[in-house]
């Protein structure tokens, strides 16, 4: 981009706000940054409905390196995001992820572990005796082993992270407009402006699509097809009479996952692809918990036979149909139109590295800190999927 050009970011969730922050905190950047966010309460976006999970255990080197930066960022978050020297607290609780495997998947788990340790992750393989000793409340009879993150994994308050990026970005001069973007002005292979629903025209040197589950609509305004769809996911919270000590975020071989949340627990599960339609409502299917999730919880943790369902919420993944991984960078033909979309279930934890990466692409036309070019837009056209085994 040309020096001093204005950047317009559509979407002020954790991704758009991180990009705004990293741009404005770059010493050499002198453009104006405007974030358009139509839902200033942040009630309906994915971020505030996230589980807030952070993990190192991916199987794509780039995803692992993204998580390593997340860790570095979280351990020094006050230095990055403090406004007026006020410490930043996003309630990060480091308790590990435990991936469990039956016989038929144990070699995959070993392979993942080898790759993760090769990338510098602090992750340990456990056999069934280790599991029974470390987690005496767990039924290990049908398991062959597990993989536990010993550091750099846990969960945080997603809304707080979004707000911390936002507040810091504003303190650096980013303008947040509580408006709805409604169109793009495209001239040939350039986007010249973003049109708002009230008729305002915002001219732009570059535009970033950070619209979460609505990313495909934003792309469509420039006649670009983007296979990112809204897919509903639940969080069911329940209480258990018995104390379950030292519980990490557990991922059962069935895909059901659970973790503590204060004195209660959260549980969820992604449906099979054939039962996962596009969906924009927030209705909760309690039958799904009763029939699908609870029996697996009770099998894995006998104390979960007697639980009380306390609450539930629904949110939406911005689901990348091709490979459920991030889509990052400029469109191959429209070089001033940037994408940061399709994060599916791991965009919250990827937000620091994504913000840094997109800000580098906008300023320098290349990645400087971490090469994320594999996540480019072109693969959505060529169908060159990135195979990440640990999609939750
Ligand atoms: C139930 C659930 C659990 C999850 N758990 C995890 C987890 O444990 N760990 C993890 O890393 N990730 C998790 N995720 C995924 C994570 O929440 C998302 O990947 C991440 O929040 C995406 O951030 P975003 O900024 O792209 O999207 P959003 O937070 O949705 O922000 C996009 C924003 O764009 C705005 N917008 C859209 N269109 C327009 C427009 N035309 N004009 C103006 N504004 C517009 C929207 O209002 C919205 O606020 C989970 C998601 C869900 C639903």
- Per-residue confidence (pLDDT) for residue 4, from 0 to 100: 63
| Tokens linked to 84 | 């007026």
Ligand 1 center to residue 290 CA distance, Å? 27
Chain center to CA of 192: 29
- Per-residue confidence (pLDDT) for residue 390, from 0 to 100: 79
Neighbours of 69 (CB within 10 A): 17
Closest listed residue to residue 273, CA positions, set 325, 320, 226: 320
Q: What percent of the chain has pLDDT over 90?
A: 97
- What is 318-386 written as a DSSP string? EEETTTSS-EEEE-SS-TTEEEEE-EET-HHHHHHHHHHHHHHHHHHSS-SSS--GGG-THHHHHT---
Q: Which atom of ligand 1 approaches the CA of 179 most closely? A: 43
What 3-state class would DSSP assign to 12? coil
Q: For residue 392, what pLDDT band results from cuts at 50, 70 and 90?
A: confident
The four Cα atoms 303, 308, 310, 314 give a dihedral, to 10 degrees, of: 70
Ligand 1 center to residue 336 CA distance, Å? 23
Ligand 1 center to residue 342 CA distance, Å? 10
Q: Reply yes or no on whether the pLDDT at 2 is more than 70.
A: no
- Per-residue confidence (pLDDT) for residue 1, from 0 to 100: 61
- Output the residue whose Cα is nearest ligand 1's atom 34: 11
Task: Give, in degrees to the nearest 5, the angle at Cα 44 between 38 and 48.
Answer: 110
Task: Give, in degrees to the nearest 5, the angle at Cα 256 between 260 and 67.
Answer: 70
| Tokens linked to 194 | 């973003």
Statement: the pTM of the whole predicted model exceeds 0.95: yes
Note the pLDDT tens digit of each residue in 139-150: 999 999 999 999
- Per-residue confidence (pLDDT) for residue 5, from 0 to 100: 74
- Tell how strand 249-251 and strand 97-101 pair up: parallel
Average pLDDT, the chain: 96
Helix, strand, coil percentages for the chain (3-state, nearest 5):
35, 25, 40
Note the pLDDT tens digit of each residue in 186-220: 999 999 999 999 999 999 999 999 999 999 999 99
Please answer whether residues 316 and 345 qualify as being in contact, where contact means their C-beta atoms are separated by less than 8 angstroms. Answer: no
Note the pLDDT tens digit of each residue in 353-383: 999 999 999 999 999 999 999 999 999 999 9
- Ligand 1 mutation target, pool 9, 42, 212, 267, most atoms within 8 A of CB: 212
Please answer whether residues 375 and 386 qualify as being in contact, where contact means their C-beta atoms are separated by less than 8 angstroms. Answer: yes
Burial of 192 from C-beta contacts in 10 A (0-12 / 13-18 / 19+): middle
Rg of the chain over Cα atoms, rounded to whole angstroms, equals 21
Note the pLDDT tens digit of each residue in 312-343: 999 999 999 999 999 999 999 999 999 999 99
- Ligand 1 mutation target, pool 35, 47, 313, 350, most atoms within 8 A of CB: 47
- What is 26-65 written as a DSSP string? -TT--S-EEEE-S-TT--SSSGGGS--EE-S--SSHHHHH
Q: Which atom of ligand 1 approaches the CA of 313 most closely? A: 1
- Output the residue whose Cα is nearest ligand 1's atom 14: 345
The sign one gets for the Cα dihedral 164, 169, 171, 176 is negative
Note the pLDDT tens digit of each residue in 235-266: 999 999 999 999 999 999 999 999 999 999 99
- What does each C-alpha distance from 231 to 19, 146, 207, 282, 357 come to in angstroms? 24, 28, 25, 11, 26
* Sequence-separated (6 or more) residues with CB below 8 Å from residue 188: none
Q: For residue 16, what pLDDT band results from cuts at 50, 70 and 90?
A: very high
Ligand 1 center to residue 71 CA distance, Å? 20
Query: How far is Cα 250 from Cα 258, in angstroms, rounded to an integer?
Result: 5
Q: Which domains does the chain have, with CATH numbers?
A: 7-83+157-227+322-382 (3.50.50.60), 93-151+229-317 (3.30.9.10)
- Per-residue confidence (pLDDT) for residue 3, from 0 to 100: 62
- List all residues whose CB is within 6 A of at least one atom of ligand 1: 10-16, 36-39, 45-47, 49-53, 180-181, 210-214, 233, 235, 315-318, 343, 345-349
């Amino acid at each position: 981009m040309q020096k001093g050009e204005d950047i317009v970011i559509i979407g002020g969730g954790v991704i758009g706000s991180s990009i705004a922050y990293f741009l404005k905190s770059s010493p050499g950047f002198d453009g104006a940054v405007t974030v358009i966010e139509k839902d200033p309460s942040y009630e309906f976006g994915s971020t505030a409905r996230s589980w807030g999970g952070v993990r190192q255990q991916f199987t794509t080197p780039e995803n692992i390196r993204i998580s390593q930066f997340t860790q570095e960022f979280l351990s020094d978050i006050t230095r990055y995001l403090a406004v007026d020297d006020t410490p930043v607290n996003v309630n990060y609780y480091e308790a590990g992820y435990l991936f469990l495997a039956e016989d038929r998947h144990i070699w995959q788990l070993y392979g993942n572990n080898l790759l993760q340790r090769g990338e510098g992750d602090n992750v340990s393989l456990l056999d069934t005796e280790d599991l029974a000793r470390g987690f005496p409340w767990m039924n290990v009879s049908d398991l062959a082993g597990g993989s536990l993150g010993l550091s750099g994994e846990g969960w945080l308050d997603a809304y707080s992270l979004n707000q911390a990026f936002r507040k810091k970005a504003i303190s650096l001069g980013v303008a947040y407009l509580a408006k709805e973007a409604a169109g793009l002005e495209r001239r040939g292979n350039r986007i010249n402006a973003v049109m708002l629903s009230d008729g305002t025209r915002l001219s732009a040197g570059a535009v970033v699509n950070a619209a979460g589950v609505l990313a495909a609509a934003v792309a469509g305004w420039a006649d670009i097809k983007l296979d990112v769809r809204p897919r509903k996911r639940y969080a069911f919270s329940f209480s258990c009479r018995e104390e379950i000590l030292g519980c990490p975020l557990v991922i059962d071989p069935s895909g059901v996952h659970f973790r503590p949340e204060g004195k209660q627990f959260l549980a969820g599960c992604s449906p099979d692809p054939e039962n996962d339609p596009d969906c924009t409502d927030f209705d909760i299917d309690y039958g799904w918990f009763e029939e699908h999730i609870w029996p697996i919880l009770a099998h894995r943790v006998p104390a979960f036979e007697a639980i009380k369902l306390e609450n539930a919420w629904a949110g939406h993944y911005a689901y990348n149909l091709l490979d459920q991984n991030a889509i990052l960078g400029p469109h191959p033909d429209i070089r001033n139109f940037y994408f940061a979309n399709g994060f599916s279930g791991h965009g919250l934890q990827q937000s620091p590295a994504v913000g840094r990466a997109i800000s580098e692409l906008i300023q320098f036309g290349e990645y400087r800190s971490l090469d994320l070019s594999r996540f480019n837009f072109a693969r959505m056209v060529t169908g060159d999927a990135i195979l990440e085994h640990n999609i939750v």
